[in-house]
């Protein structure tokens, strides 16, 4: 079973964790990608939403759990079969939340191309953008380095 250990610069990542925690706070109460299933039975829609919300909360908790005391001592996070899919989904949820809230001033082309003029945006937007890129990089590392069998494909 493949495992990847990623060494990160704690002084660089630590401020981004504050942004992640801030965005994660609301993900226990609302979905990052709200459902628009108006043609479904209300009870079924509510049950489905509740199940997705519970899963999202657990996934975001697992992402935050990567950055524990061990991370602050060694600067290493690990991805393997037990957490790869969960971390991918958690990163996606937080990136969606960042996009919907903190990164509204930036166009989609800037977000996906990574070409923002960081000196031209306010500090909170700059931090949110750096966090967005950091999470995208984590997702890319997982996708590129773990076997398809680990990702359930």
Where in the chain are the domains? 4-145
pTM of the model: 0.88
Say if residues 106 and 133 touch (Cβ distance below 8 Å): no
Rounded Cα–Cα distance for residues 105 and 54 (Å) = 30
Mean pLDDT value of segment 132-137: 95
- What tens digit of pLDDT does each residue of 39-70 get? 778 887 788 888 999 999 999 999 999 999 99
Mapped onto helix, strand or coil, the DSSP state of residue 4 is: strand
Higher-pLDDT residue of 1 and 49 is: 49
Task: Band the pLDDT of 141: cuts 50, 70, 90.
Answer: very high
Average pLDDT over residues 77-100: 94
- pLDDT of 146 reads 73
pLDDT digits (tens, 9 = 90+) for 106-117: 888 777 776 667
Residue 86: pLDDT above 80? yes
Q: Are 23 and 93 in contact (CB under 8 A)?
A: no
Of 9-13, 63-67, 118-122, which range is least confident?
118-122
Distances (CA, A) of 152 to 13, 90, 97: 29, 16, 25
């Amino acid at each position: 079973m493949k495992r990847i250990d990623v060494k990160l610069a704690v002084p660089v990542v630590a401020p981004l964790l504050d942004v992640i925690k801030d965005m994660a706070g609301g993900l226990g109460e609302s979905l990052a990608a709200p459902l628009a299933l108006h043609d479904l039975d209300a009870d079924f829609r509510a049950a489905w939403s509740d199940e997705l919300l519970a899963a999202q909360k657990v996934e975001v908790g697992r992402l935050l759990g990567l950055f524990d005391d061990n991370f602050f001592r060694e600067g290493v996070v690990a991805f393997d079969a037990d957490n790869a899919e969960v971390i991918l989904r958690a990163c996606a949820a937080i990136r969606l939340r960042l996009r919907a809230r903190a990164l509204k001033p930036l166009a989609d082309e800037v977000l996906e191309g990574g070409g923002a003029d960081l000196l031209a945006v306010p500090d909170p937007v700059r931090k949110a953008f750096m966090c967005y890129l950091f999470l995208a990089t984590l997702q890319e590392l997982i996708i590129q380095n773990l076997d398809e069998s680990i990702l359930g494909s």
